[in-house]
Amino acid sequence: MKDKEMSWSIKMADTVLRRYLDLSDKWDHEYGIVFKGIEDVWHHTGDCKYIDYLLFNIGNRIGENGEIAGYELEDYSVDHINSGRLLFPLFEETKEERFKKAAFLLRQQLETHPRTSDGIFWHKQIFPYQGFLDGVYMGDVFYAQFAKVFNDPALFDDVTNQILLFAKHNKDEKTGLFYQGYDEKRQQIWANADTGCSSSFWGRAIGWYCVGIVDILDYLPEEHAKRQKLIEVLSGLLSAIVTYQEPETGVWYQVVDQGGREGNYLESSSSCMYVYALAKAIRQSYVSQHFLPALKQGYNGILNTFIDEDERGIVNIHQTCQTAGLGITANRDGSFEYYISEPIVSNDFKGIGTFIMASVQVEKLIVQMDDNENESVNITLSKN
């Protein structure tokens, strides 16, 4: 950025370093989302304080032989894989074998992780025969990054097949949106008896799928046979998403297609994910600049709808769905009523991390287009 005073990625990252200095108390997928945002700011700025933060918080969980404190392979949860993405930059930066060994430990989980009959990872062992969109980001991005870093190209076929299986099972042809869950046995309370899918379009689940694809493309070889198909899936889904952008604010609803239906609300983490995916897809030429107006409106909408900054420079993000899922309890039935019933909170790690990630991508796109003397990217980085 030419003017770092205007960089919201730096402002929020520095807020994390001030407010959450020690996040080494557990191995947690939500921490991993924040850590990924911090890693992105480190690459964006080159400021060593960000990698030092990651080294402290991740490093304190990793033993000399690669053991991860608080991690249980036998839980078979793809959520447990997500923080493993930070092992790659830490190994590259420090050359400490413990980070490499920890990455191989997580890879070992994926070798034996239970799957649906056609190959999708069960989201967790406690969710038999069920795949959730969330798993593409939580597990498959690590899987693809591992394949590239440690030169195991055979894994790319598995990664791409899982993404395309979700496109086969979970896509709604009428809206172009994706349902969160797929139950191949059609036995869960939330599963459609014919399709096996859940019944509503939850914003964050769709967001994880978008972000997962656009990140996996970073690692997938240019010549891979399924690469173009993944780009087509991403482009089609982004096209569907922008049609549901709330016109006045530019952001998106918790249940994407239900607009101003009573109880529905504008949700920050999913909005950040869509902006991240849009900005990165435009920057990498996966989609055309036709998406720029939606991106501009979306990012400006995030700043003006969800973000505030106090006199100390501490940044807050509001209106984040605290949690949502399918199964375990009867109320988690995938309905509209369920998704709007979960708590709405401020400064949730899923909101913080995705806001940092989205801001980095927008800022990088602005720099790229400035370099190309393209005037069409007039994105306002200041709040109205």
Q: Where are the alpha helices (DSSP H) in the chain?
A: 8-19, 29-45, 48-59, 87-94, 97-112, 134-135, 141-149, 155-170, 203-216, 227-243, 268-283, 292-306, 336-339, 349-371
Q: How many CB atoms lie within 10 A of CB 193?
A: 7
pLDDT tens column, 308-363: 999 999 999 999 999 999 999 999 999 999 999 999 999 999 999 999 999 999 99
pLDDT > 90? residue 106: yes
DSSP state of 121: B
Q: Compute the distance between CA of residue 316 and CA of residue 323 in angstroms, rounded to an integer.
A: 18
CB 58 within 8 Å of CB 68: no
Look at residue 2 in the predicted model and tell me its pLDDT.
47
Residue type, 82: N
Chain-centroid distance of CA 277 in Å reads: 9
Q: Tell the burial category of 175 from Cβ atoms under 10 Å away from its Cβ (0-12, 13-18, 19+).
A: middle
Catalytic, 348? Answer no
Architecture of the domain whose range is 4-371: Alpha/alpha barrel (1.50)
Q: What's the CA gap between 211 and 353, in Å, rounded?
A: 12
Q: Are 365 and 340 in contact (CB under 8 A)?
A: no
List pLDDT tens digits, range 172-230: 999 999 999 999 999 999 999 999 999 999 999 999 999 999 999 999 999 999 999 99
Q: How many Å apart are CA 275 and CA 269, to the nearest integer?
A: 10
CA 253/CA 200 separation, integer angstroms? 12
Distance CA 64, CA 89 (A): 17
Catalytically annotated residue among 134, 183, 215, 257: 134
Task: Tell me the per-residue pLDDT of 16-42, one tens digit each, with 9 for 90 and over.
Answer: 999 999 999 999 999 999 999 999 999
Return the pLDDT at 369. Answer: 86
Q: Helix and strand tally (H, E) in the chain? A: 14, 6
Statement: residue 1 has pLDDT above 50? no
Q: What pLDDT, in 10s, does the model give residues 43-79?
A: 999 999 999 999 999 999 999 999 999 999 999 999 9
Predicted pLDDT of residue 381: 64
Q: What is the mean pLDDT of residues 108-116?
A: 99
Q: Where are the domains of the chain?
A: 4-371
